[in-house]
Amino acid sequence: MRDGDGDRPTRLAYLEGLRGIAALQVVLLHFVTAFVPTLPDRAGLAGFVFDGHSAVYLFFLISGAVLSLAFVREGAGIAGRIAQRVVRIGLPVAAACVLAVLLLALLPHAHLRAAESTGSAWFAMDSSGPVSWWQAAREAGEEALVTGYADTTLLPSRLAVWLGLDPLAHSLDAPFWSLHLEMAGSLLVLALVRLRTLSRATHGAAIMLCAVLFGTQACFLFVLGHLAACGLQDAARGVGAAAMGGVLLATGIAMCAAKNWSSVDGLRIHLSQLVVLPTPNLYQFQSQLGAVLVFGGIALLRPARLALRVRPVQALGRLSFGAYLTHFPILFTVVAASWTMLDGRVPSWANLVIALTLLLAATLFAASVFERWIDRPAIALGRGLARIGQSGCRHVGSTVA
């Protein structure tokens, strides 16, 4: 497969930029919720700028597409690929836990003091969690990757209670909630890619089975991303693709900016009768649907793809994972302490500008460090493990033969 905008093989470069924009939306959502909690209810279409909920669902769609292309291009055995994903996600998570413990130990109550003046109930929640290395180890090794949290897990509720999973509000770094789904979605995409190499009919049957089992759940977004990697590049060159892309993108932005449409609820209720697992609430369902429309619209709209390939946006995309993992503890400690220190000494608007500037600057700095010293080694180590797994599979195969 080739990018519709040029001759670069397989890897859809614009998705890197889209990932960066989505990460920025998450950062802005948390900033707005902490310091301007009434803004989301009156932002209108501008609310898309900080719609971090749909942005996370965009991450899932992007992962489904990018991983499908990578798994096809690079091959390797299943065990090697699983090890690669565990290392790729697990090492940055562990590093982010260390950062969170250090910052929260230094400024454990900064967000509570800031919340007293901002009036944000979300900022005042007990999200600092127990500041301990045991908590960090449990989050990095279990809840972030394997089980999820009590209120975000894919596991049955009874099993979650038996395991004693912590609520998300006790997390050292709340964005970790999505990584449990990211890991599960990665394995799902890997399975679909392998099935496609075996039989197109089996692959199609597996897609239909996923749709029937959990077609309204967030995990199905990985399946849609996988399907996009299989066919959207050709669709982007079709007649009327640009017009269709514009309509999808505009509708998706509107859905992401203003949630809880009654028309969308009708669709949600209808689909809930066709799938086995429970359907999410209207807000979550519309966030997913909006993300799908934005993703599809950009894939069909060449100007949007080109805009996402400019150098600054691509650079933001490379820093996106580090920014996603580090901004939350920075916001709850350093930025919150700065806000409280300046509160009453400078105008509120100036304090907002200073807090936002500090959050963005500190997050980009931390993300840059992560990209160089954590992300790159994690990617290299994961690829090495995948190659070892592939060699092992070939050796076993030759021995059996």
DSSP string, 99-168: HHHHHHHHSTTHHHHHHHHH--TTTTSS-S---SHHHHHHIIIIIIIII--TTT-SS-HHHHHHHTPPPG
Q: What is the mean pLDDT of residues 245-254?
A: 97
Asked if pLDDT for residue 257 goes beyond 90, the answer is yes
| Number of domain units in the chain | 1
User: Residue 202: inside a domain, yes or no?
Assistant: yes
User: Residue 238: inside a domain, yes or no?
Assistant: yes
Q: How confident is the model at residue 170 (pLDDT cuts 50, 70, 90)?
A: confident
Q: Which domain holds residue 72?
A: 13-400
Q: Between 391 and 23, name the one with better pLDDT.
A: 23
- Closest by CA to 337, choosing from 128, 107, 119, is 107
User: Residue 386: inside a domain, yes or no?
Assistant: yes
Q: What is the mean pLDDT of residues 255-276?
A: 96
Greatest alpha-carbon span in the chain: 77
User: Residue 383: inside a domain, yes or no?
Assistant: yes
User: Residue 7: inside a domain, yes or no?
Assistant: no
Which of 39-48, 71-80, 318-327 is predicted with the least confidence, judged by mean pLDDT?
71-80
Q: How confident is the model at residue 127 (pLDDT cuts 50, 70, 90)?
A: low
Q: How far apart are CA 319 and CA 370, in angstroms?
A: 8
User: Residue 82: inside a domain, yes or no?
Assistant: yes
